Chain A
Amino acid sequence: MPGNKGVYFRLAAGLIVVVLVILIGVFTPLITLLNPATGVAQNAANLVVGSHLYRISGLIDNVTVIQDTNGVYHIYAANNHDLFFALGYIQAKNRLFEMEVFALTGLGNISTMLGSSYNSYDRFWTMIGAPLTAEEDWENVLANASVNPTDNLTATALEAYSDGVNAYIAYAEAHNVVPFEFKLLGYKPFNWTPVDSFAVQELETTLEFGDDGLIFALLYHKLGNATYTLIPTFSPIQQYYYGGYNGPPNPYVLAMSHHTYPVNSTLASMAHHVAQVWDPLRLSMLNYFLNPETHSNEWVVSGNRTTTGSPILVGGPVLSFSLPPIWFQVQLVDPTYDVYGVILPGAPVVVIGFNRYISWTLTDTQAISDGTYFWDQAVENGEYLWDGSWHPLIHHTINGLTVNWTNLGPILYQNGTNALVVTWMGNTFSNDIGALLNVMKAENWQEFRAALEIWKAPYQNFAFEDNTTIADISPACYPIFNSTSGVPYNPASIMPGDGQEYISGCIPYSMVPQVVNPPNGFIVSSNQRQVGPAYPYWFGNTMTPSPGYRAFMEVNYLSTHPKVSVQDMMSLQGNNYTDYEAALTLPYIIKDLSNTTNPLVIQALNQLKSWNYEMYTNSTAASIWFYTYMYLFNDTFIPYLYAKGVLPEYKDVIDPSGMGGSFPGTTGLSALDVDLAYIIMTGNPSPFSNQTLSSLLTEAVNQAMRFLTSQYPDGNYTWGHFYGFYFPSLLGVSALSVGPLPRGGDYNTPNDASGGGPPSNWPSGGQSWTMVVSMANVSDSFGVYPGGQSENPASPLYSNYISVWMSGGYLPLYFIASPTAFPSALVKATIILSPR
């Protein structure tokens, strides 16, 4: 039997290996992930860019999809249904993981995919009402589809799109090519529904979503009426208001803005608590839109000022970067549509783009308090007080969390019988998808303007051009505040929620900021305030997001260039690094310091005097300007905020630095950037500092020079050492991210973003899509976004546009009417989607 012993030993050894492998499979994802047939290896099949025929259930006719040499998809369908079905299929093929991350984020459910570390994010997002609104939006669209053509078109598009996404999910599961991120996370992709598309829209609504009202209340608690000096209602610096209304301030609006509801310690404590939860959201990698430190550009020039004789439109929405990026480039063609542009993952509409007749682009509006309005409301025993009587709270249970709503919105925080309630315009029913579906097929300004009338939120400026018209409009439901007791309280702070102050409606569409064919022949709406002080409605203050210097630089350029070409416009957007605030204030600084004997200051002035205000990477003067400005900002405002008790008590929510919070770990308050320029120009730092401007400037220049020479003792402190861009991967994995890469610019230049100093503080946001469209020939348009069409980091189309974007370059946008007209040299692959 000794031989048998050996046999049993070998049998046991074999079984042990098998058990070991099984245990590895049970307790680790290794066997699932590495399975050659179903694991991540199979995803390599999806890296191949090539022609393919897919037979799919649910299509009515064949759809031809051409992927051009830049990776852009051109979808040619015979009807609306198939167009949106194919779009869903193609987008899911390239971006399914990103789409589901977007939808889950919008639904307050991202922790189910990414883990419990996102619980607080989900809780906040659920509390604010976004998931509920996404569902209600879809229910509204469905309910009205039989009587409202826009809702009917929306329902058709969203259902077909969802079917297309789900057809791809089914294909991917059957062929084991579900994006590898799902496999790594052990998460099965969920089937897409129109509610998910509305959830993505809710996420987009965070373009206007902030806690400005709470911050203002905290400042008012400490500063009282001095808050109006720190955060002026209207800029004391000259501004360009595209919508007009220059002139003296409307007395009623000014009175309202200077009539702030008292903020006692209890209310301040509640505001502070909510702001502490709110503010970190800005830092989350999930907030593509919620980044008040980055802004956007748009301008449009009329034909009589262009070399072609036709209008030119330029768009540059500044958003947070990610890889994959938030944009996906397509051309959509069927009997109704022939449109080119960028779409969001999960929302089947071109947000920014052009068709044969028109072109349009978007930016954030200035002022109007982020679309969030806060109220101090009494709540007791499950009821809220309004207009002298008690009403039952409305309970919503979403994602396992019960949220209590009053008539004004969700309760964010409760202390005894005091509740802090928010009215967020993102919770207003707004069929933005339907509006854009109509914009995509509009042929003139009238149709375009009519399409946007249903747009309620987020607050956006829409620049427009057709062959003969340039225009801009900021459609939205801007609340009109009224009061039963005289002048209403300032809506930029917390308001009384007992019924004395209330929203009586929206500013009429005919009165929202807008302009058509202005006499100067151009329009700029780059986040500056749209309407001047004479505007008859309350429209916010200067708090965020832009001090307006960038817009003014663009206005200055266009004013001084009577004829511009497409090339000029690309150059202005992509390679112009003029800091207009420097141009505005540096002459005053140089004059103020002209008699200095301080050697460091003299050394700095020698460079600044010959500087052309360009934030080029090879400029040392640019570095001197930046740091001088930043130290001057700190020396002027920070001691003041400490003296008044704002700091250190509220340092976790109010910790400003200059240029929109460009120092590490700080935030921006654009009003303070306005204040500082005003101080420099008037030479009077009062009431913020008791020192003279000369004294503050001397100290700031000294600090800047000491810092720069400590960093680069050889004097080579060029701006490229302190500024550039970083493109983080969606999952925050540094090896799959790109950068930091040096590039010119700063907070006040077209390619603007806050940040600077160590590369870890370089901006991870910027112009997320640069587009130049000339109506002389829309087929000769240009654009690029930093990223690529594929979400797979192993794909050659993952980050291939970044080098173009970094150089300030553009790619041609091939706008081709039919697959047969597509030049073969421009075809990378042809995909046929055929009904099964």
Chain B
Amino acid sequence: MPNTTVSTRYSAAAQLFHWIIAALIVVQFSLAWSADDLPLGSRKLALLAWHKSFGMTILMLAVLRLLWRLRHTPPPLPADMSKLERALARSTHAALYALIFIMPLTGWLMSSAKNYSVSWFGLFTWPNLVGRNERAFELLRDTHDALSICLLSIAILHLLAALKHHFWNHDDVLVRMLPWTRSVKRS
């Protein structure tokens, strides 16, 4: 009996990775937007120090999550989804996986290029990936900014899709990623 539920729901580990990273991404946006308009000052530095520490946390979790994902098959998509919907779901998930690597990496690179090294909660400092380079910094900052809009759009699409599955299709696509719930077996 328990074995059949494992295949239709996400495992506890998958849920943990998903929700911790999701929560950290929300924190990242609020920190970045709060710091954006501030002049260089202690408050901006403090906000960006948190942003960098959480960003590197996301990167480390992304590595673990990808390794974990490569050894575990996720539950299948509902059988009634069209080819287009499946392709859209797969590419959305792939893009989100890519972005949880690329966002921290471009952030780390832009910090390096501006000689603002990345500390992890003041416990240790990550090495600078590139030397000081103003032009590289500007390019990386613009990339980081543009990708953050991509991430925001895809995350909203992902959220709306989950809600659509739950309230429109009445399937368990949303619920199977929610802890402390039970998926209702259909079909």
A-B complex is real: no
| A residues in contact (CB < 8 Å) with B | none
| B residues in contact (CB < 8 Å) with A | none
